[in-house]
């Protein structure tokens, strides 16, 4: 069994199948969601979407006319108006269905457990997990399921969290520190821990996930509400325009039927974006869940798309976290081979990540050197080996200096210069020394570098292109922080950062009208997470951090924050692109229907019939059919999202206008013309 501190999921690695991954869109999802789409025909549901409610009323009205005065044209218009409403419901039902499938897989992870609760006297009593209350202490041993969310207050254990995160490798949870939080439904694999319950039954982390991914607690975001108001306003304007059109048509001697006027209204109002708006919002939450990020609200996802400042911890986010040996620098006339051998021997007993990296750099010993290993300790700050009368040591410059001088040796000025130079460049120097025949001397210096993760400079460059400022947060001294910041390519850094410094930086950025995002996992990060517009808490972190943030990363991968911002931007871009397409779409349908309505009294309008549609009735029916079918065609795009490429706001606007603006004008002309080629052969459509 391999035990890991944490194994972040790759950005490209998909979520676990059947758990929280929504999977690829398929036509089968349309069929499965059709019954739910039909149930949504309830007018009480349609009232939540003003645009589609108008279409619903128009469908009901044309149905009445189709019954009272039936004709092929009237019946077909009524049928396709109902299809328009059903297809709009279908978009929402497919999006919700994906979330409900995820919720069902999460429900299967919930287990009714019997908890071993500690009493005030220290004895154990067995109670059902549903009876646990906040503050209760429960004992969990190897093979047992953790009965509820909480913090480890005693002991250390390996925990299988695969049911929640999808990650097969167990992780370590221990009392104290920032890796004390445990989730109900996960399993302890070894040892014994005492957990303090922090949530009520029914309000656990898994319960919250279920409610969120199935959409039960989804609320419209501010931008979504604003767009709904805009669409409602446009609908009212077009409704008044169509109502006012009838008196003018009657005065001209060409009064229009209710069927034609209703068809005109439905084709002119923004039905496309009105039908897809809810699905776009649900799909945005869904894409986060696919990447194992739980957002507590759609507002958080939307805010991520508007973020203009990213606060990123250095360790584990920008750098690997464990410093690595990158260079050996001989001093005092020592040869490189001598230094390599001494560095390797001095590190064989050093079990720290730094010690292991030195062995990797110098190459493993070809044979057992024998002798007595001297392990690294926090007190001595050195490690090494004793080979009879020969002693080899490696450690911090001050510790090795004292050791060398203790044997009457000298610590050369050259060594001091190299040590200072490495420190100023953001590295960590380790000095290697030997003692032979009662006298010690320095062999050289090992450079330890806090290695920046590959590709970070490029990713920060992309964020800069998007107008996002990146700030590295670190506890390092300013010199080290500056060197790493330059190497990583971040815009700014905050060195020797304390919790109050993070808060001050967040407030300073927000005063300038910028939205701020950050990650954190400790209790000391909670105030900053709460103050940030987007606060991504690590699942491994404390319960205080998870409660303070508005997102939780189940993989506990700090670099996920960059992906979260990209998903938020994709949500906003998708909504904007489809809104542009919808409005351009309506403009094109205008030129298909209006000339057909009045060509009999104004023959000059025939010049606007650029598609050469067969007849007024076929033109109107073709527009209505296209209006319904385009919703189905765009459902996969609404769920998948418009492809996102890091670029400036002006470049995104040009791209949207070119692809979805021009495309929204051209597509209806082509679509209506193709539909008309079929419709003209229907008997009764003159």
CATH number, residue 496: 3.40.50.1000
- The reported pLDDT for the residue numbered 209 is 67
Task: Answer yes or no: is pLDDT of 22 > 60.
Answer: no
> 252 pLDDT exceeds 70?
no
Q: How many residues does the chain have?
A: 686
Instruction: Could you list the beta-strand ranges (E) of 248-302.
Output: 293-295
Same structural domain for residues 462 and 608? no
The catalytically annotated residue of 313, 557, 586, 676 is: 313
Q: What is the dihedral of CA 671, 677, 683, 686, to 10 degrees?
A: 90
**Three-state SS for 142?**
coil
Q: Point out the least confidently predicted range of 73-87, 310-324, 462-476.
A: 310-324
Band of residue 218 on the pLDDT scale cut at 50, 70, 90: low
Q: Can you tell me the mean pLDDT for 335-345?
A: 89
Domain match, 596 and 663 both: yes
Residue 238, domain member (yes or no) = yes
What's the whole-number mean pLDDT along residues 13-41? Answer: 64
Mark whether 518 and 538 lie in a shared domain: yes
Q: What is the pLDDT of residue 177?
A: 63
Tell me whether residue 80 is in a domain: yes
Q: Which residue has the higher pLDDT, 427 or 58?
A: 58
Do 510 and 460 share a structural domain?
yes
**Poorest-confidence range of 34-48, 209-223, 579-593, 624-638?**
209-223
- In this structure, the answer to whether residues 314 and 367 fall within a common structural domain is no
* 10 within domain boundaries: no
Is 141 contained in some domain?
Answer: no
More confident residue, 134 or 593: 134
SS3 call for 325: strand
180 φ, ψ (degrees, to nearest 5): -105, -15
pLDDT of residue 246: 76
What are the tens digits of pLDDT across the range 408-439?
A: 888 888 999 998 888 877 788 899 999 988 88
- Over residues 263-272, the pLDDT tens digits come to 889 988 999 9
What sign does the dihedral 131-135-139-144 (CA atoms) show?
positive
Region of poorest pLDDT, from 167-181, 211-225, 274-288, 313-327: 211-225
The rounded mean pLDDT for the chain is 81
Q: What is the pTM of this model?
A: 0.68
| Whether residue 543 is found in the same domain as residue 647 | no
Q: Is the pLDDT of residue 111 over 70?
A: no
For position 55, what pLDDT does the model report?
94
388 occurs within a structural domain? yes
Residue numbering of the annotated binding site for ATP: 350, 354, 376-383, 394
Considering the domain architecture, whether residues 544 and 619 belong to the same structural domain is answered as no
Cβ–Cβ < 8 Å for 644, 566? yes
For residue 126, the tally of other CB atoms under 10 A from its CB is: 8
Same domain, 479 and 573: no
H-state helical runs in 291-412: 298-305, 336-347, 353-362, 397-406
Q: Judge if 612 and 660 occupy the same domain.
A: yes
Verify whether residue 313 is a known catalytic residue. Answer: yes
**Gyration radius (Cα) of the chain, Å:** 33
Q: What's residue 289's pLDDT?
A: 76
What is the rounded distance in angstroms from the CA atom of residue 155 to the CA atom of residue 175?
Answer: 6
Q: Which of 451, 466, 486 is the last residue of a domain?
A: 451
Report angle CA 584, 585, 587 to the nearest 5 degrees.
Answer: 65
Annotated binding site for Mg(2+): 521, 525
Answer whether residue 79 shows pLDDT above 90.
Answer: yes
Average pLDDT over residues 547-555: 82
**For the ranges 127-136, 505-514, 604-613, 639-648, which has the lowest average pLDDT?**
604-613
- Decide which of 489, 522, 554 is a domain's last residue: 554
- Short-list 323, 337, 324, CA closest to 443: 337
Q: What is the pLDDT of residues 138-163, one digit of tens each?
A: 999 888 888 888 888 888 888 887 76
Say what the pLDDT of residue 11 is: 35
Question: Structural domain of residue 515, as residue ranges?
Answer: 306-318+453-554
Structure token digits, residue 319: 């750098």
Contacts of 123 (CB under 8 A, 6+ apart): none
* pLDDT the model gives residue 67: 93
Confidence of residue 74 (pLDDT cuts 50, 70, 90): very high
Query: What's the number of domains the chain is made of?
Result: 3
Q: Is residue 297 situated within a structural domain?
A: no
- Cα 329 to Cα 336: distance, rounded to the nearest angstrom: 8
State the DSSP code for 319. B
pLDDT above 80 (res 470)? yes
Provide the percentage of residues in the chain whose pLDDT is more than 70: 86
DSSP state of 408: T
Q: What is the mean pLDDT of residues 75-104?
A: 85
Residue 549 confidence class, pLDDT cut points 50, 70, 90: confident
> Has residue 82 been placed in a domain?
yes
Find the DSSP H helices in 181-221. Answer: 205-213
Q: Which residues are known binding-site members?
A: 350, 354, 376-383, 394, 521, 525
Beta bridge partners of 469: 309
Residue 328 in this model has a pLDDT that exceeds 60 = yes
**What is the reported pLDDT for 6?**
40
CATH, residue 393: 3.40.1110.10
Residue 680: its pLDDT value, please?
A: 86
Confidence grade of residue 72 (pLDDT, cut at 50, 70, 90): very high
384 and 243 co-located in one domain: no
Q: What is the DSSP string of 16-33?
A: PTTTT------HHHHHHH
The pLDDT of residue 426 is 72
Q: Are 220 and 285 in contact (CB under 8 A)?
A: no
Q: Last residue of some domain: 430, 451, 472?
A: 451
Check whether residue 445 and residue 461 sit in a common domain: no
Alpha-carbon span 118 to 102, nearest angstrom: 35
User: Tell me, what DSSP letter sits at residue 257?
Assistant: P
Structure confidence at residue 104 as a pLDDT band (50, 70, 90): low
**Top-ranked range on mean pLDDT: pick from 58-72, 363-377, 406-420, 444-458:** 58-72
Regarding whether 36 and 87 lie in a shared domain, the answer is: yes
Angstrom distance (rounded) from CA 287 to CA 570: 10
Q: What is the pLDDT of residue 634?
A: 92
pLDDT band at 554 (very low <50, low <70, confident <90, very high): confident
% residues pLDDT > 90 (the chain) = 15
**Contact of 347 with 360, CB cutoff 8 Å:** no
Q: Is 167 among the domain residues?
A: no
Give the C-alpha separation, 221 to 219, whole Å: 6
């Amino acid at each position: 069994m391999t035990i890991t501190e944490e194994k972040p999921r790759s950005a490209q690695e998909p979520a676990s199948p059947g758990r929280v991954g929504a999977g690829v869109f398929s036509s089968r999802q349309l069929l499965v969601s059709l019954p739910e789409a039909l149930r949504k025909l309830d007018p009480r549901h349609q009232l939540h979407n003003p645009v589609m409610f108008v279409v619903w009323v128009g469908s009901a009205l044309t149905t009445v006319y189709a019954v009272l005065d039936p004709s092929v044209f009237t019946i077909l218009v009524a049928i396709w108006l109902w299809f328009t409403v059903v297809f709009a419901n279908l978009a929402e039902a497919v999006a919700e269905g994906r979330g409900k499938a995820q919720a069902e897989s999460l429900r299967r992870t919930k287990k009714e457990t019997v908890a071993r609760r500690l009493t005030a006297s220290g004895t154990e009593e067995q109670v059902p997990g549903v009876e646990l209350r906040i503050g209760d202490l429960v004992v969990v041993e190897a093979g047992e399921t953790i009965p509820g969310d909480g913090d480890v207050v005693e002991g250390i254990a390996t925990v299988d969290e695969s049911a929640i995160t999808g990650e097969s490798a167990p992780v370590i949870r221990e009392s104290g520190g920032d890796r004390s939080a445990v989730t109900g439904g996960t399993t302890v694999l070894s040892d014994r821990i005492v957990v303090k319950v922090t949530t009520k039954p029914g309000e656990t982390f898994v319960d919250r996930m279920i409610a969120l991914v199935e959409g039960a607690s989804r609320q419209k975001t501010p931008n979504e509400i604003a767009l709904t108001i805009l669409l409602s306003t446009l609908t009212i304007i077009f409704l008044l325009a169509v109502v006012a059109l009838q008196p003018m048509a009657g005065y001209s001697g060409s009064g229009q039927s209710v069927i034609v006027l209703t068809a005109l209204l439905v084709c002119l109002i923004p039905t496309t974006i009105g039908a897809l708006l809810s699905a776009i919002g649900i799909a945005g939450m869904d894409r986060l869940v696919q990447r194992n990020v739980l957002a507590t609200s759609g507002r958080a996802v939307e805010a991520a798309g508007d973020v203009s400042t990213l606060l990123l911890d250095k360790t584990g986010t920008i750098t690997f976290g464990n410093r690595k040996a990158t260079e050996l620098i001989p001093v005092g006339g020592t040869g490189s081979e001598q230094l390599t051998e001494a560095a390797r021997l001095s590190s064989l007993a050093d079990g720290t990540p730094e010690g292991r990296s030195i062995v990797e750099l110098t190459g493993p010993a070809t044979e057992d050197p024998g002798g007595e290993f001297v392990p690294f300790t926090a007190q001595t700050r050195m490690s090494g080996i004793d080979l009879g009368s020969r002693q080899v040591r490696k450690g911090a410059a001050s510790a090795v200096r004292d050791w060398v001088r203790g044997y009457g040796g000298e610590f050369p000025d050259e060594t001091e210069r190299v040590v200072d130079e490495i420190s100023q460049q953001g590295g960590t120097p380790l000095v290697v020394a030997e003692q032979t025949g009662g006298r010690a001397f320095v062999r050289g210096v090992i450079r330890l570098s806090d290695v920046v993760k590959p590709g970070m400079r490029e990713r920060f460059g992309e964020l800069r292109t998007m107008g996002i400022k990146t700030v590295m947060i670190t506890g390092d001294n300013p010199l080290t922080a500056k060197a790493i910041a330059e190497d990583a390519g971040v815009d700014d850094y905050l060195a020797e950062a304390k919790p109050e410094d993070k808060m001050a930086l967040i407030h300073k950025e927000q005063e300038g009208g910028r939205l701020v995002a950050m990650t954190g996992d400790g209790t000391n990060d909670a105030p900053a997470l709460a103050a940030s517009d987007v606060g991504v808490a690590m699942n491994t972190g404390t319960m205080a951090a998870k409660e303070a943030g508005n997102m939780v990363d189940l993989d506990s991968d700090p670099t996920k924050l960059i992906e979260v911002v990209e998903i938020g931007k994709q949500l906003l871009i998708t909504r904007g692109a489809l809104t542009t397409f919808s409005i351009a779409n309506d403009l094109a349908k205008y030129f298909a229907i209006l000339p057909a309505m009045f060509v009999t009294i104004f023959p000059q309008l025939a010049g606007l019939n650029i598609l050469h549609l067969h007849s007024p009735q076929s033109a109107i029916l073709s527009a209505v059919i296209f209006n319904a079918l385009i919703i189905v065609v765009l459902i996969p795009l609404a769920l998948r999202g418009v492809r996102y490429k890091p670029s400036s706001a002006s470049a995104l606007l040009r791209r949207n206008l070119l692809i979805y603006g021009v495309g929204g004008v051209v597509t209806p002309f082509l679509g209506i013309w193709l539909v008309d080629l079929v419709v003209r052969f229907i008997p009764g459509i003159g």
